[in-house]
Amino acid sequence: MVDITGLRNPYDYANPVRTVEYFAGRGSQLATIDYVLKQAGTTRPVGYLALYGRRAAGKTSLLNMTEKLAAERGYLVARANLVPANADPASFFATVYEELIGAVAGVCELTSPDGRKITPRVVRRIIEGGPVDGDFPLEFPENLAHAITGGQLSEMALRNDLRHLMELVGRPIVLLVDEAQMIADRPDVLSLLRTLGMRLEGYVLVLAGTPELVARINEVFDFLLRQFEFVRVERFSEAADVVQCMARPLEAVGLDPSRCFGRPVEDVASDLMPLTDGNPYEIQLFCHVMFARWQTDGAATMVLTAQAVDDVRATLDVGNEHVDRPLVKAVRQMSDEALLALNIWCSALEQATVDEIRFASRVSGAIALDADQLDRHLDGFVRDGLIELVNNTVRLIGDAAEHIWVRLSTVQRLGPRASILLSSVNFRYLLASQLWRLLDHHVLGGDRWLLRTCCLAMRSELLDQGVLDLRELPADREISYTVEYLHEAILESAMPQALHLTSVECSYGETTATRWICRGAADDFDLDADPAFRAAQERIAGLGGVLRAERSTIPLKPMAEIVEWLVERFDYPEKRPHMAHRHVSAALDAYEVGDIVATFSHLDTAFRLFPYWGPANNLAYLNLVAGDYSAARDWVRRAVPLSKAADQRALSRYNGGVAAALEGDWDGARALLADAAADLEHRSPLEEDTGVTHLMIPAFEDRVVVHEVRDPDLADAIARARDVVELAERFERLRGSA
């Protein structure tokens, strides 16, 4: 078992992320930000960026990464975190200006003609009304002093200083402003920023704040809006982002995530998705609690138990009876039925209309409440002041922590009956989740038949592109990442000659959600003939929507050609390991049924897709089984440097030692086995057993022979192999001397 008692909890829900190693997702946002930064130059116009999203969505964390990107490009960065008092224009510009002076003074000589250093303190004194020498090189501080006592801010004075400072440092300057919603209601501040930008060069201004900022920027910047890049920061919707958010902090402290959760990380991530609504803050909070329970309460790994949910709820600290929280109070007194209804109505907060929610809630067929009951509850919630309807969408009272509390209380009280939870997804996403539930739980009966997607609401055009790529195996264009999901379906269907792809669409009004079922064509899977599906179609038609399935056939080129193409052309480094892992699993299945040729081929493909320890070591083993000892030793030589842990190294060296013994290379065998034994002894306490399923165990019967053993103990096997080598060598010496 991994010993983590001495580690600090790597999950931090209380502070913004500061280092890249802990930062998850936001790939497209980072690309936009980097693009804007790249455009900057000392003779280039001002660039503007606005990072906006709700509280705790991850704006400050993204601003921190922006700071890193800017620094990597060699730009000077100055940063201000606004507080409510900064809303006043003079205060706002004074704050940003002082930070800028501090940053400039930190990298170059900023002095008055008489040689005295100009520091933020000197500037502050002037702003506060202190005397200014006639030859002081900066104009704006004096103007600020004037503005504070009611005078006008001078855009020209500020612009002159900014230009002077930029020329002094000789490279672009990036101004970062966090909590910028403080100036949202000050059109004077925004318009000054706008005018400034029209005649200045070499700056990038990055504002981070809540969404009201955007509306104001829209008004003030008007036709100049094209200069502004808006970057939205919201919940994670892609499974891979949630996985990163869970895995990166563990990796940062030297743990292997695949060994920290009791189950595959991807599975825990998909359970966490509805519980956290994909919010990074909540994901960190959950992981923090799971880690703490693992560390202190004797849980064997990080597991998502009812107790963990309870701990998270307690951490939120909103259950305190003495504080007046009408939402919490109401939820405590609610019947189970009302609580379910509340979650349904709040399943797409401020995103979907009342009609859309009513429809979505009936798609899966799993909700016991009928439309009349639901509507009666809605009236009640509105009457009690819990819910307010805004543009026919639902707004819930209470703050973010109370909303999380409601969601978790629901999970605890209703268990699996809570099939829709409070969330702020949009209608298409909500619809997709209910369509998934219908197919997975009620039509397909939980079989893993549904195609994996990057996000629950993945658009069908993306998959269409992947299908086209798979049919054509093009060499001359970028291929779609969705090929990965089809590749998985091919392996799951045991590499058929053609795939049947059934697209299932659910539409309401203008919105359509799609899910896919992929089977080998020989299965002849036909959803339209399924009574459960037909019943669902009728039910959905009765609600004013449409449910339909369409099957198409994807003819497949020979697997060898597909593999060759993937190895050469599938250029998604983060996805290739997944593909490789799936070939390794397919290899294990093939080995179980005695198909050595297929085992070799899957392992070889896996290694070519992503050269990691797993397939290299398995190939060493398989060559040992097949009797090619020199090939086995070649693979050991590749596997050892790729190992991530001492027990992996030990296993590979053991395989190499056995191969050497079978070749009669006693020195080689002795060295490898001694190293293997040492590897096992020097394991770090953070390592858990890889778990060896198969070993070739040597024995001495006039010569070295081997036989396969299941679920062996590696340490015993190493000791035994060393004995066999000694024995064999002595026997050979005796025979030689005889």
Q: Does 358 bind ligand ADP (CB under 6 A)?
A: no
> In this structure, are residues 365 and 536 in contact, taking their beta carbons and an 8 Å threshold?
yes
> In which order are the strands placed within the sheet that holds 203-209?
76-81, 173-178, 203-209, 47-52, 228-232
Rounded to whole angstroms, how far apart are CA atoms 80 and 100? Answer: 9
Residue closer to ligand ADP by CB (options 24, 341) is 24
Closest approach, Cβ 20 to ligand ADP, in A, equals: 10
Stretch that binds ligand ADP, among 21-29, 693-701, 712-720, 729-737 (CB under 6 A): 21-29
Rounded to 10°, the helix 155-169/89-107 angle is 20
Q: Which residues have CB under 8 Å from 4's CB, separation 6+?
A: 255, 291, 294, 295, 686
201 interacts with, out of Mg ion, ligand ADP, none, CB within 5 to 8 A per kind: none
Alpha helices in 438-575 (DSSP H): 460-472, 483-492, 531-542, 559-569
Closest approach, Cβ 404 to Mg ion, in A, equals: 17
Closest approach, Cβ 319 to ligand ADP, in A, equals: 21
Stretch that binds Mg ion, among 52-60, 165-173, 293-301, 656-664 (CB under 5 A): 52-60
Question: Pattern of binders to ligand ADP over 94-133, x per CB under 6 A?
Answer: ----------------------------------------
Q: Which residues have CB under 8 Å from 206's CB, separation 6+?
A: 33, 48, 49, 50, 51, 63, 66, 174, 175, 176, 177
> In this structure, are residues 539 and 365 in contact, taking their beta carbons and an 8 Å threshold?
yes
Q: Does 66 bind Mg ion (CB under 5 A)?
A: no
Q: Which of 2, 4, 26, 377 binds ligand ADP (CB under 6 A)?
A: 26
Q: Which of 29, 60, 343, 482 binds Mg ion (CB under 5 A)?
A: 60
Rounded to whole angstroms, how far apart are CA atoms 145 and 126? Answer: 7
Residue closer to ligand ADP by CB (options 59, 515) is 59
- Cα 109–63–195 angle (5° rounding)? 70
- For residue 418, give the 3-state DSSP assignment: coil
**Two structure tokens written together for 545:** 């929507």
Rounded to whole angstroms, how far apart are CA atoms 313 and 516? Answer: 36
15 interacts with, out of Mg ion, ligand ADP, none, CB within 5 to 8 A per kind: ligand ADP
Question: Pattern of binders to ligand ADP over 281-310, x per CB under 6 A?
Answer: x--x--------------------------
Nearest to 160 by CA among 221, 97, 209, 109: 97
Element (H, E) at 77: strand 76-81
Q: Does 61 bind ligand ADP (CB under 6 A)?
A: yes
Q: Which of 56, 304, 348, 420 binds ligand ADP (CB under 6 A)?
A: 56
Q: Does 10 bind ligand ADP (CB under 6 A)?
A: no
Residue closer to ligand ADP by CB (options 245, 714) is 245
> In this structure, are residues 361 and 434 in contact, taking their beta carbons and an 8 Å threshold?
yes
Residue facing Mg ion at closest CB distance? 60
- For residue 82, give the 3-state DSSP assignment: coil
Rounded to whole angstroms, how far apart are CA atoms 167 and 185? Answer: 32
Total residues contacting ligand ADP (rule CB under 6 A)? 22
Q: Does 279 bind Mg ion (CB under 5 A)?
A: no
Rounded to whole angstroms, how far apart are CA atoms 119 and 111? Answer: 9
Closest approach, Cβ 117 to ligand ADP, in A, equals: 34
Q: Does 680 bind ligand ADP (CB under 6 A)?
A: no
Closest approach, Cβ 58 to ligand ADP, in A, equals: 3
Stretch that binds ligand ADP, among 49-57, 388-396, 473-481, 522-530 (CB under 6 A): 49-57
Stretch that binds ligand ADP, among 19-27, 69-77, 259-267, 297-305 (CB under 6 A): 19-27
Closest approach, Cβ 178 to Mg ion, in A, equals: 6
615 interacts with, out of Mg ion, ligand ADP, none, CB within 5 to 8 A per kind: none
553 beta partners: 500
Q: Does 284 bind Mg ion (CB under 5 A)?
A: no
> In this structure, are residues 306 and 313 in contact, taking their beta carbons and an 8 Å threshold?
no
Q: What residues numbered 223-262 form the site for ligand ADP, per CB under 6 A?
A: 245
What's the N-to-C CA distance of the chain in angstroms? 51
Rg (CA), the chain: 32
Q: Which of 2, 4, 10, 23 binds ligand ADP (CB under 6 A)?
A: 23
Q: What are phi and psi of 49, to 5 degrees?
A: -130, 140
The residues binding ligand ADP (CB under 6 A) are 12-17, 23-26, 53, 55-61, 245, 280-281, 284
The residues binding Mg ion (CB under 5 A) are 60
